Amino acid sequence: MTSEEAKKRLCLALDVDRLSDAVRLVETLRDRVTLFKIGFQLFTKEGPGAVQAVQSLGGRVFLDLKYHDIPNTVAAAAREAVNMGVYMFNVHASGGSDMMRAAVEAAASQSQKSNTTMPVILAVTVLTSLNDRILTDELNINNQLAHQVTHLAALAKGCGLDGVVASPQEITAIRERCGHGFTILTPGIRPPWIKNIKDKDEDDQKRTATPSQAIRLGADYIVVGRPILKADDPAEAADNIVRDMTSGC
């Protein structure tokens, strides 16, 4: 993998409070990162204007709102995601097959109607903050975490979704179950130099890997937030992550 290819597969999580901070990060890093994740924090504060701001600076947007509701509600949200022109958005696979199909059908219909490119639609399998104990003791799901992830991935594929959001630890199992044409976006990325990042003790990710490990395992995209956002030099941190990604091939 070349560094240019790695840059296209690195997604920066814009987990900041203010649009001005997000804009500053995109302006600083757009030569190093092409895909930017907008999640609950920034979208709740700034709304669709955050999407428009990133796009105006040449960035692609992964709208990480994890839609999880009745099928009609999710279908309506999917249409609006298309109208915003996002590159990618996601839903919770645990919303079930009817909900996931509704999202795909609504997005496809709206894309055709507006003559725009169909967004990549991913399903969230099991959050990277969860582990086997939480899955069993708190959520009462009597299935090993890895099996639950692959089950939900296969369900999403059967509903026509493009891929899943899953931790690095489940990439191999998903590939075996869903094949190589199925997109895997991987959060929980922690570079080898993470000890230099502030607030490491507050890290709530439980199933993690380094950038090179995730790429070697077969991730199509990796999502990185705090290791770049909290670095003394975010540009240098992004460069180091790109280098680590290329070493994974």
User: Does position 219 have pLDDT exceeding 80, yes or no?
Assistant: yes
Known binding-site residues equal 15, 37, 64-73, 128, 190, 205, 225-226
Over residues 14-36, the mean pLDDT reads 97
Over residues 44-61, the mean pLDDT reads 97
In whole numbers, what is the pLDDT of the chain averaged over residues? Answer: 92
pTM for the full model? 0.91
Q: How confident is the model at residue 129 (pLDDT cuts 50, 70, 90)?
A: confident
User: Does position 39 have pLDDT exceeding 90, yes or no?
Assistant: yes
pLDDT score at 27? 98
Over residues 39-45, the mean pLDDT reads 97
Domain 3-246, CATH? 3.20.20.70
pLDDT score at 217? 92
* Residue of 192, 182, 194, 195 lying closest to 213 (CA atoms): 192
User: Does position 206 have pLDDT exceeding 70, yes or no?
Assistant: no
pLDDT score at 207? 54
106/112 Cα distance (integer angstroms): 10
pLDDT score at 209? 82
pLDDT score at 168? 87
Q: How confident is the model at residue 204 (pLDDT cuts 50, 70, 90)?
A: very low
Active site (catalytic) residues:
66
pLDDT digits 0-9 by tens, 151-168: 999 999 999 999 999 888
User: Does position 199 have pLDDT exceeding 60, yes or no?
Assistant: no
Burial of 218 (0-12, 13-18, 19+ CB in 10 A): middle
SS3 54: helix
- 19-36 residues labelled b (16+ CB within 10 A) or e (exposed): beebbebbeebbebbbbb
Q: Which helix (H) or strand (E) holds 65?
A: strand 60-67
Q: How confident is the model at residue 202 (pLDDT cuts 50, 70, 90)?
A: very low
Known binding-site residues for substrate equal 15, 37, 64-73, 128, 190, 205, 225-226
User: Does position 245 have pLDDT exceeding 90, yes or no?
Assistant: yes
